[in-house]
Amino acid sequence: MAGLDPVHRDFFAGGAGEERTVRANAAAFDRLRLLPRVLRATGTPDPGLTLLGAALPGPVLIAPTAFHRLAHPDGEVATARAARDTGTVLTVSMAATTPIERIADTGARLWFQLYPQPDRDFTAHLVERAEAAGVTALVVTVDSPVFGRRERDLRNGFLDLPAGLVCENLRDPATGRIRDIVMDPSLGWDDVVRLRTTTRLPILVKGVLHPADAAEAVARGLDGVIVSNHGGRQLDGAVATIDALPAVAAAVRGRIPVLLDGGVRRGADVVTALARGASAVLIGRPVLWGLAAGGRDGVAGVLTELHEDVVRVMALCGAATLADLPPDLVREVRP
Ligand SMILES: Cc1cc2nc3c(=O)[nH]c(=O)nc-3n(C[C@H](O)[C@H](O)[C@H](O)COP(=O)(O)O)c2cc1C
Ligand SMILES: CC(C)CC(=O)C(=O)O
C-alpha cells in the first residue's frame, strides 16, 4: 500500500498466532457457491434495508478498527465523510485516533464500539460522551478478555502509537490524561446488561460465534449480535464467521438482527452471508486499505464498488430485494 509504513500495514493486515483464522475467514467463503435463480424479472435490485430503525441504502457497514490516523492524516474524519457520502454506518472504534465529537461533526451515522473498562465510572463516562456526540448504537466487543498475540506486531516491536497520535476518546475527564485500554477478563453478561442503566442506545454484542451465546444475548434483551472473530486477531484457530453464522441465525430466530464480519470482500460474500441469515455485514480491512490509498475518496471508492457489486450479484441471482436471498441460494463445495 503506497505510503503506508510496513509496520503499520502489518498491524492492519495481521492476526493472532499462525493467522489461521484470518485465512479461514476467506477460505470459508471460497468453499461456498451460489445457486442462482433465473427469469424472475426483478428489474434493478434494491439492496436497501431497515436496521435498528434506520433506513440504509445497502447491507454493508463499516466495522470498528483502531488507529485510522496511522493510515491517513485525516484518519477517522475521512472515513466518516465517506460513510456519510455513501449513506452507510461507521462503527467508531473506542481506539480511534480522533475525538468522537469531531467524527460526529461530519454528520455521518455512527455507532460506537466499546471495550467495557474495569473502572465502571470511566466506562459510563465513555458511553455518555459517545451518546452526547450523537452515536445511534453501542457495539460492545466481547471476544477480547485478553489481547490476542499478534506476532507481526511483536516482531516489528509495534507496541505504541507514534508521537502525536493518541486514543483521543480515552482521555480521563478528571486528569486530562489518556488512559490505556484494559482488556477485562472478568467481563460478564451482567456487565453488558448494566450498560442499560447508563444509556438508552441499542446495544449489540460483537464477537459472538457460539449459538448458545447468541441465544443468551436474546434472553438478556440485547438488540443485536455481530458474528465476528475480530478478523482473526484474537483467538487464532477460531471458526470462520461464515461457518458459524447459520447456527447463530437459527438460535436467534429473527428476534434481533444478526450481523457478520470477517473476510467479506465481494458482493457474492455479502449475498452469501445474507442468504445464511445475516441482516447485514461489516468490513474492516478493506476500509483501511481504501483510507491509506486515498483518504475519503479511497474509502468511498471501496464502499461504492462493493455496493455496486452487491446490486450486480443480486441481479445475477434473481433477487429484487434482500428478502429474496433464501438459504438454498448457497451451496457448499469441497475445497
Ligand atoms: C487494524 C484493525 C483494528 C481493529 N480494531 C478493532 C477495535 O478497535 N475494536 C473492535 O471491536 N474490533 C476491531 N477490529 C476488528 C474489526 O472490527 C472486524 O471484526 C474485522 O476487521 C473484520 O474482518 P475483516 O477485516 O476481514 O473485514 C480491528 C480489526 C483490524 C484489522
Ligand atoms: C487497540 C486495539 C485494542 C484495537 C483492536 O481491537 C485490534 O487491533 O484488533
Query: Stretch 290-308: mean pLDDT, rounded?
Result: 98
Please give the Cα distance from 331 to 326 (Å, whole number). 11
Q: What pLDDT digit, counting tens, does each position of 167-208 carry?
A: 999 999 999 999 999 999 999 999 999 999 999 999 999 999
CATH code of residue 241: 3.20.20.70
Residue 1 has pLDDT above 50, yes or no: no
Assess if residue 330 is contained within a domain.
no
Q: Are 117 and 33 in contact (CB under 8 A)?
A: no
Counting atoms of ligand 1 from 1, which one is nearest the CA of 93?
8
- Its ipTM equals 0.99
Do 88 and 299 meet the contact criterion of CB atoms below 8 Å apart?
Answer: no
The answer to whether residue 335 sits within a structural domain is: no
Pocket test for ligand 2, best of 10, 25, 65, 287 (most atoms within 8 A of CB): 65
Q: What is the pLDDT of residues 41-58, one digit of tens each?
A: 999 999 999 999 999 999
Cell of 137: 448504537
Planar angle of CA 254, 260, 263, nearest 5 degrees: 155
Please name which of 142, 63, 132, 75 lies closest in space to residue 104, comparing C-alpha atoms. 132
Task: Find all residues with CB under 8 Å of 53, minimum gap 6, and list them.
Answer: none
pTM equals 0.98
333 within domain boundaries: no
- pLDDT on residue 10: 98
pLDDT digits (tens, 9 = 90+) for 74-131: 999 999 999 999 999 999 999 999 999 999 999 999 999 999 999 999 999 999 999 9
Which ligand sits nearest to residue 22's alpha carbon? 1
From CA 216, how far away is CA 196, in angstroms rounded? 16
Q: Is 171 annotated in some ligand binding site? A: no
Total domain count, the chain: 1
Q: 222: which 3 cell numbers? A: 440485547
Task: Please list the residues that pair with 157 across neighbouring strands.
Answer: none
Q: What's the domain range around 31?
A: 6-324
User: Angle CA(265)–CA(248)–CA(270) in degrees, nearest 5?
Assistant: 20
Domain membership flag for residue 244: yes
φ, ψ for residue 280, nearest 5 deg: -165, 170
User: Which residues lie with the beta carbon below 6 Å from any ligand 2 atom?
Assistant: 66, 95, 181, 230, 233
Residue 244 in grid coordinates: 458459524
Catalytic residue check, 230: yes
Phi, psi of 251 (to 5 degrees): -70, -35
* For residues 157-174, average pLDDT: 95
